[in-house]
Each structure stands twice: as structure tokens, then as C-alpha cells.
Amino acid sequence: MLIELLAAFIMPCTLVLLFTRVTYNRVIGLILTVALITASVYKGYTHTWPVMIIDAFSLTFGFWLAAEMKKRRAAKQS
């Protein structure tokens, strides 16, 4: 259970950032990550509410972090 909670904290945020860097669009990165998490829930890998809530928090934090990353990059280029 502890490993599931740690993965729920780290993986969605990391995936949002990864997909944002690959697609150059943070909304597309969020959508792709939500699709992966939805598929894992459908397959039965996520079966407790605390893990789902932590996933949602991590997604939100990753989306915010991607926005900050974009702001820093724009400030660096100007």
C-alpha cells in the first residue's frame, strides 16, 4: 500500500510534465495523463479512494508546475 501511495504522489505529476515537454502543450499533457490513469483504474490497478484522491492532487500539482515551467521559459527567452 505504501508503494501505491508513493507512486500516486510522484507518477501523475511526472507524467504531466513529461507529456507537456513532448507535446509543448500543458492541456494535452494533462489529458494524456488522465487517459492513462483512467485506463489503470479501468484495469483494476487503482482500487482505493485515497490513491485516487492523491492521483488527482498530483495531477493538479503537475498542471500547475507545467504552467510555472512555461512562465520561466518565456521569461528566459525575452
pLDDT at residue 78 in the model:
75
Q: How far apart are CA 76 and CA 68, in angstroms?
A: 12
- Count how many domains the chain has: 1
pTM, rounded to two decimals: 0.88
pLDDT at residue 38 in the model:
92
Cell numbers at 35, concatenated: 487517459
**Sign of the C-alpha dihedral computed for residues 17, 19, 24 and 26 taken in this order:** negative
SS3 (DSSP) at 73 = helix
Q: Per-residue confidence of the chain (78 residues) as pLDDT tens digits? A: 899 899 999 999 999 999 999 999 999 999 999 999 999 889 988 888 999 899 999 999 999 999 999 899 889 887
Q: Which residues of 45-65 are buried (b: 16+ CB within 10 A; e: fewer)?
A: ebeeeebeebbeebbeebbeb
Structural domain span for residue 36: 2-77
pLDDT at residue 77 in the model:
87
